[in-house]
Amino acid sequence: MKKEEKVVEVLREEGYKISEEDVLIAQLVPGFLGGLITFIPKQVFLAYNEKEFFVIGATLMKGDPDKNKIKHYSLNDVNIQMKKGLFLYGKLILTHSNGKKENYRAMKFAFGSLASNNFKKALERFQ
């Protein structure tokens, strides 16, 4: 089962409607020194639909989505910007209504996943 399928399954169990094409595999970029030094990148999954944006934490051992680590935001309360970036990652910036920012590295490519097509689709929507 692909990671995107697992994310959709977890979100559907919680009552949210998401399609596999709306899931991104990403890493949280810590605010320390602008993310220049990352000892252990924290894998997350980013998902969205017409009304909401989700950040789902991954389990430490398998990297599967953890239903206890789901944060969801209304698209009216957050601003999302995406940039292409270099090589394998693009940049996604989630800005809250209070000005707080969260930076993520969204994967452009991952074996056995839909990352490439999903990244292009999200980039068109949030660029």
Tell me the pTM: 0.86
Identify the band that residue 119 occupies on the pLDDT scale cut at 50, 70 and 90.
confident
Identify the band that residue 109 occupies on the pLDDT scale cut at 50, 70 and 90.
confident
Q: Over 90: is that where the pLDDT of 19 sits?
A: yes
Q: What is the DSSP letter of 100?
A: -
Q: What is the CATH number of the domain that holds 69?
A: 2.30.29.30
| Number of domains composing the chain | 1
Check if the beta carbon of residue 53 is closer than 8 Å to that of residue 125: no
Residues 35-53 have pLDDT tens digits of 555 556 688 999 999 999 9
Establish if 16 belongs to a structural domain: yes
Q: Over 60: is that where the pLDDT of 102 sits?
A: yes
Residues 21-38 have pLDDT tens digits of 999 999 888 765 555 555
User: What pLDDT is recorded for position 53?
Assistant: 95
Q: Show the beta-strand stretches assigned E in the chain.
A: 23-29, 42-48, 52-58, 65-74, 78-83, 89-96, 101-107
User: What pLDDT is recorded for position 112?
Assistant: 61
Q: Over 80: is that where the pLDDT of 91 sits?
A: yes
Establish if 108 belongs to a structural domain: yes
For residues 120 and 122, give the distance between their C-alpha atoms in angstroms, rounded to a whole number: 6
Establish if 123 belongs to a structural domain: no
Residues 63-90 have pLDDT tens digits of 899 999 999 999 999 999 998 887 788 8
For residues 81 and 122, give the distance between their C-alpha atoms in angstroms, rounded to a whole number: 10
Establish if 125 belongs to a structural domain: no
User: What pLDDT is recorded for position 17?
Assistant: 94
Closest CA to 24 of 104, 127, 124: 104
For residue 53, the enclosing domain spans 3-116
Establish if 92 belongs to a structural domain: yes
